[in-house]
Amino acid sequence: SSEVLEAIENVVQGVFQSLAQKKAPVLTVANRTDWRNIEFKDSVGLQMIPGCTTKQIRSDCPQSARRFALMLKILSMIYKMVQSNTYATKRDIYYSDTLLFGSQSVVDQIINDISCMLKIPRRSLHVLSTAKGFVAGNLSYTEEDGTKVNCTCSATVFTVPSNVEGIKNLTSHAKFILIVEKDATFQRLLDDDFFSKVSPCIMITGRGIPDLNTRLLVRKLWDSFQIPVFTLMDADPHGVEIMCVYKYGSVSMSFEAHHLTVPSVKWLGLLPSDLKRLNICKDALIPFTKQDENKLASIRKRPYIACQPLWKKELEIMAASKLKAEIQVLTSISSDYLSRVYLPNKLQFGGWL
C-alpha cells in the first residue's frame, strides 16, 4: 500500500510543481487502445511495448480539462481507500457522484488509465468490479473474509469472487477447466450434470465478454492446478473474439497481460468445421451481418492468428460460408447432444485446436 500511496503522491507533486512554475499541469497516460503500442508474445499474449506512445491530459485544454479533474478526483478517492484499507467497486465510485462522472463507462476508463499510468494493478488500487461471471464444478476455496465456498457438492452456481487475489486454499480434483461463452449453455450443462458425468471439471462463464474478475479467476485456476483449459464458444466472430480475450488478452488491458492471459487455452468448439462434419442443416445457420464480416476480417489480421494455422483454417471456413452458428444449434440433432455426445467425444478423442 505504501507503494500505491507514493505513486499517487508523485503524481500530485508533479501537479503542484507545474502550478508553482506557473505552468498548466498535465497528466501523461499511455495510448492503451492503439495497436501500434502492442506487441504479441506467444508466452504472454498481447502486451504493451515499453516505449509506447502517450497522450497528454491537459488542465488548460477545453477538450481534456474535465477528464484531468475527474482523474484527480478518483486518485484522491483511491488514496483515501488505500490509507484506510477499505475497498469500493467501480459502481460505488460512479454512484458517489453520478452528476459529476456522467456515466459508468467514464469511471471505468479513468480507473484503467490510472492503473496504467501508475503501473499498479487495479486490485492494488482497492477498486473492485462487480463480478458477473459464474463458476461451478469440482472446486472449493476460502474467500478473503473467511467464507468457505464449495462448488463440488451441488449443481449450484457461484458468482466469481469480487476479490480473486484474496481467495486461498483452492482445492480441486478437476481434470480440465471448461470456459463457456454463454450463461444459457452453462446452465444447460449444469442441468445435465455434465461436470460430474464425464470426468470432474471446473466450469466458468463470463456470460459474454469476460470481466476482469472472471479472467483473473481462470488465470488463478490455471496457475494453481496446471490442467488443460478448453473454450466452448459460438461458431461466430464474436465467439472467437471472446476466446482470444481469455487466451491472448485485450488491447485495452495489455498493460496487465501477465496477470490475465492463459496462453494454453484450447478451442474445443463449436468449430466452423464441426457444422459440416455433423451435417448441421443450413436452415439452422445464421447469415453474417456486415458487422460480422468486419469483425472476422479484423481478427484474421491480428498477429496471433499467424501462429495458429489450424485456427486460421477454421476462420477461412467461416469467411467462405458467411454463416455462423450458436452452440444451441446442436439441439437440432438432439436435446442433450452437447453434453451426451459432442463434448465427451471431443474430450476423449482430442477434438480441439
Enzyme catalytic residues: 95
- Whether residue 126 contacts residue 89, with contact meaning beta carbons closer than 8 Å, is answered with no
Task: At 94, list the grid cell.
Answer: 460512479
Contact 229, 266 (CB under 8 A): yes
Q: b/e string for 152-171 if b means 16 or more Cβ within 10 A?
A: beebeebebbbbbeebeeee
Q: Return d(Cα 309, Cα 129) in angstroms, integer.
A: 36
